[in-house]
């Protein structure tokens, strides 16, 4: 895998670690509420749901890191595809901004891995 593909996959993985932290640990804190546009009472009422979402983002990050360490394109492509699909679903059901934050970087990663 070339350096460009590795950097993009690594950045997507780090992004999902950041999302994990926001959702699992900062959901009710000002940073988490600001990131997801949550009112304090709604954030408090849904913090278990946020933590669950964060765990799933952690699995995506773990898979991307596994792909980087193993050197396996199939693993990288699978988890980048999962990120892209999750981003499309999130954009349709929650916020169009998710398309830019999640799907676009994953798509760039897919292209970079395929071209490497």
pLDDT at residue 80 is higher than 80: yes
Q: Which pLDDT does position 37 carry in this prediction?
A: 92
Q: Which pLDDT does position 1 carry in this prediction?
A: 65
- How does pLDDT run across 32-54, given as a tens digit for each residue? 999 999 999 999 999 999 999 99
- How does pLDDT run across 85-107, given as a tens digit for each residue? 999 999 999 889 999 999 999 99
In degrees, rounded to 5, the angle at the alpha carbon of residue 43 between the alpha carbons of residues 64 and 36 is: 50
Contact between 81 and 12 (Cβ < 8 Å): no
Separation of CA 50 from chain center: 14
Contact between 105 and 12 (Cβ < 8 Å): yes
């Amino acid at each position: 895998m070339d350096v460009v593909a590795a950097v993009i996959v690594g950045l997507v993985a780090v992004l999902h670690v950041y999302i994990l932290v926001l959702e699992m640990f900062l959901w009710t804190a000002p940073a988490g509420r600001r990131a997801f546009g949550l009112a304090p009472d709604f954030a408090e009422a849904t913090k278990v749901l946020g933590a669950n979402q964060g765990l799933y983002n952690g699995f995506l990050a773990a898979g991307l890191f596994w792909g980087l360490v193993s050197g396996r394109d199939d693993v990288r492509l699978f988890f980048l595809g999962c990120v892209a699909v999750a981003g499309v679903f999130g954009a349709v059901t929650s916020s169009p901004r998710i398309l830019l934050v999640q799907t676009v970087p994953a798509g760039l990663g897919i292209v970079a891995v395929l071209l490497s």
